[in-house]
Amino acid sequence: MKRDIAYFVAKCPNCQQVKVEQQKLGGMTQEINILTWKWEAINMDFVTGLPTTHRQHDSIWVIVDSVTKSARFLDVKTTNSAEDYTKIYINEIMDCQADRTIPTLEDILRACVIDFKGSWDDHLPLI
C-alpha cells in the first residue's frame, strides 16, 4: 500500500505542486499596524450635486471608520471651509466617542487650559 501511495503521489500533478520543494518562499514579512481605537483611521468621500435643502445643504460627507467599517453620513454645504469640516467632525464624530476612558484626563484638561488660555473651550472637544 505504501508503494501504491508513493506511485500515485509521484504521478499526480496536484500533489507535485503542493510539495514543499515546489513552493516559493513568500519573502520578508511586513509588520501590520493594528488599529486600536475606533475612528483613529478614517476614509472620506463626498456626494455632491444634490438638490439644495431648506438649510442650504447640497452634499453628503461620507466618513467610514477603517476599524469597525461603520459609516457616518453628514449633510454639508459645498461652500464649507476646511475649518467648518473640522468643527463638524469634532461635533459629530468625536463627541460621539465619549465611551473612551482616558486615565490621565485631569492632566490633559489642565494642559489644554494652560496651552490654549483664552480659547481652551474651542479645543475641549479634541480631548
Per-residue pLDDT of 70-110, as tens digits, reads: 888 999 999 999 999 999 998 888 776 655 545 556 677 67
User: Can you say how many angstroms the Cα of residue 125 is from the centroid of all Cα atoms in its chain?
Assistant: 20
- Tell me the mean pLDDT in the region 2-28: 76
Neighbours of 61 (CB within 10 A): 21
Alpha-carbon distance 58 to 76, whole Å?
Answer: 6
List, for residues 33-45, the tens digit of each pLDDT value: 776 677 788 899 9
pLDDT value of residue 119: 73
Average pLDDT, the chain: 79
pLDDT value of residue 61: 93
Which residues make beta-bridge pairs with 64?
Answer: 43, 71
What percentage of the chain reaches a pLDDT higher than 70? 74
Alpha-carbon distance 4 to 96, whole Å?
Answer: 66
- Tell me the mean pLDDT in the region 1-7: 84
Contacts of 48 (CB under 8 A, 6+ apart): 58, 59, 78
Which residues make beta-bridge pairs with 44?
Answer: 63
- Tell me the mean pLDDT in the region 1-30: 76
